[in-house]
Structure 1
């Protein structure tokens, strides 16, 4: 969420909790996003002056940000899990050695994020805090500390510093990026306008998330959806009938949606934010599909006004995925995923219903199993021109005999 100024707030707080998680607030640095002991959370919603390139990992350690473009793609040695994809996940007898289960255990044990595939009392671990017009889902213990600091400041403002909002809680899952409604291409498949007359500057990359094709994790996704349902219910507006942003059903299967904000105004970041990046990660060289003329046109207008928040997605070797490869390497992949959750309300107007909107903002995607190989677009190999039937020898002999007469 980035840093916030120490000014008084009249934030409203809501929570439903009876216990706090075991992790302390100081341990809530997002996976793969810490750069040093004194810096944390450099991604998505509010970019920091020098955004770290998060060396994503299933259990991501803290690493310094790349100092130059030369080491931009260098995967840390800790990210290499030997033999990660060596075996099929078909036998329950092999479940102990199943790499997916090994990764699952690492996520469960990581104090920095709440693993949603567990059967947990989720409302005892988190609550909601108001930040302007948005509600942030935060750790319960952070919420308690913030509430106490806020109350103390209100009673004696001369003796206490203004409270600082807690960081959003980080959640983790293992699941599969769906091929359905995949809009995480570099330009989000933007063709302009749409229902809400949006602009390219407001583009968000989106994708649906579905169960991983692994018997070992079948029950996990059910728990993920159950926990998300519980979180949504804890923040529903009583008189609102519609929920937007978080869920979708495709071919009878219920899935959840993740998002990533693609652009940030330059006025909100330091001038040297892009200075350490290779060219393909800068706004000037950001790839736009030439078949999307409105995206091409609006992209040119953004070059001097915005920077790119490249997607923090990493392949199964721990290398940052280049923007031209988002669809090829993510659509259909089994991944470990980290995200935050926020909420806001939209009043009904012009015949539309009032709605609660929930957004899952991507903090980190790590590919565990790449997508299955696809065909070459249905093209068939051209047949070689031959005069004679190569499979019928007696016909060939007869033709040769006729030629010799």
Structure 2
């Protein structure tokens, strides 16, 4: 396990965008995007070459607008067991105040310290670099929402990332996921047939009654599988995402975006998943609750319990 993490750390460090490297801040800058009224208030306006910088998206509460391309930051983390919503459909069970329809679903999770060397010492730097980066992109007079970082008392510090499950067809043509691994992996919509596990037809749902709501999006939106790869570099099947990811140690690549929300006068930061590579599978936890005691000897002569009796 240690050798796997060490190899991953070395590769990420060589990439120049590893958050465990404290010198990363000097290689990044925020770039305003969009036509928001406060565009000049957000950091440096210089252009960046080859997607080597962070991006900022200004919007009037239009936080569903796909963020522009930005630097693909990386870290080695463990998915928090409790704050896990990376199931294939974000554990959508119906309209809520936060997510009023399945189109708004964004599977997410909190990421914490892997607690396996050499990653633990790097994670403190990861959090520090993210704090520095978010503090460099603020809107004067605006407050900062705490949804990106989680610093709850008596709980390990975490930061949150999410996946955009749906994308309007007009925003992207014929390309679903483009990822660089030790071998080049390119997945296109042409590869996903009607009976494919990644298709609308067979996409796993928390509640089957939402199938019609999901299929209604097919003419206007791409269904985007989360770019997650297992220990053999195979794309993770949607139905296995929960058991393979919750508690797993992984290498994650993500972009960091910023929105200034005019109506609430607050700054919002969002980590959007670009690639996940599982490094260590989660350890199965024992089921909580009462355990049924089993007899050491089964007496076959014992009479069956009377009807209506309770065990």
Contact 1:345 1:357 in 2 (8 A): yes
Give 1:275 shift: 2.3
Structure 2 equivalent of residue 106 of structure 1: 11
Contact 1:244 1:355 in 2 (8 A): no
Contact 2:32 2:45 in 1 (8 A): no
Structure 2 equivalent of residue 264 of structure 1: 167
* Alignment partner of 1:195 is 2:97: yes
Per-residue CA deviations over 1:284-311 (Å, capped at 9, x if unaligned) read 22111226x4x43421322333221100
Structure 2 equivalent of residue 118 of structure 1: 21
Taking the aligned partners of 1:267 and 1:121, their CA distance within structure 2 comes to 34
Taking the aligned partners of 2:50 and 2:109, their CA distance within structure 1 comes to 35
- Aligned pairs for 1:303-318 (under 5 A) are 303-318=218-233
1:115 aligned counterpart, secondary structure: coil
* Alignment partner of 1:387 is 2:299: yes
Taking the aligned partners of 2:171 and 2:200, their CA distance within structure 1 comes to 15
Give 1:383 shift: 4.0
Q: Alpha carbon RMSD of aligned pairs, Å?
A: 3.2
Taking the aligned partners of 2:213 and 2:294, their CA distance within structure 1 comes to 41
Tell me the TM-score normalised to structure 2 length. Answer: 0.75
Structure 1 equivalent of residue 273 of structure 2: 362
Unaligned runs of 5+ in 1: 1-84, 90-97, 147-164, 389-405
Contact 2:99 2:105 in 1 (8 A): no
Taking the aligned partners of 2:46 and 2:83, their CA distance within structure 1 comes to 37
Taking the aligned partners of 2:238 and 2:288, their CA distance within structure 1 comes to 21
Higher Cα Rg: structure 1 or 2?
Answer: 1
Tell me the TM-score normalised to structure 1 length. Answer: 0.59
Return closer, same or farther for 1:370/1:201 CA change in 2, 3 Å cut-off: same
Give 1:316 shift: 1.3
Structure 1 equivalent of residue 197 of structure 2: 280
Taking the aligned partners of 1:115 and 1:127, their CA distance within structure 2 comes to 15
Taking the aligned partners of 1:133 and 1:192, their CA distance within structure 2 comes to 34
2:70 aligned counterpart, secondary structure: coil
> Counting helix residues as a fraction of each chain, which structure ranks higher?
1
Taking the aligned partners of 1:300 and 1:381, their CA distance within structure 2 comes to 46
Structure 1 equivalent of residue 256 of structure 2: 341
1:289 aligned to which of 197, 202, 206: 206
Taking the aligned partners of 2:222 and 2:276, their CA distance within structure 1 comes to 21
Structure 1 equivalent of residue 48 of structure 2: 143
Return closer, same or farther for 1:240/1:265 CA change in 2, 3 Å cut-off: same
Per-residue CA deviations over 1:254-286 (Å, capped at 9, x if unaligned) read 210011100122344446952212511112221
Structure 2 equivalent of residue 27 of structure 1: none
Unaligned runs of 5+ in 2: 52-66, 176-187, 301-311
Give 1:377 shift: 6.6
Contact 1:182 1:206 in 2 (8 A): yes
* Alignment partner of 1:217 is 2:119: yes
Give 1:347 shift: 2.3
Contact 1:283 1:306 in 2 (8 A): no
Structure 2 equivalent of residue 180 of structure 1: 82
Give 1:375 shift: 3.2
Aligned residues: 265
Taking the aligned partners of 1:337 and 1:138, their CA distance within structure 2 comes to 26
Taking the aligned partners of 1:198 and 1:187, their CA distance within structure 2 comes to 14
Which region of structure 1 is more displaced relative to structure 2, 209-218 or 177-186? 209-218
Structure 2 equivalent of residue 227 of structure 1: 129
Taking the aligned partners of 2:48 and 2:165, their CA distance within structure 1 comes to 29
Per-residue CA deviations over 1:309-365 (Å, capped at 9, x if unaligned) read 1000011121111101111011111101101111111124xxxx4211111111100
Taking the aligned partners of 2:142 and 2:46, their CA distance within structure 1 comes to 29
Taking the aligned partners of 1:289 and 1:103, their CA distance within structure 2 comes to 34
Give 1:119 shift: 2.0
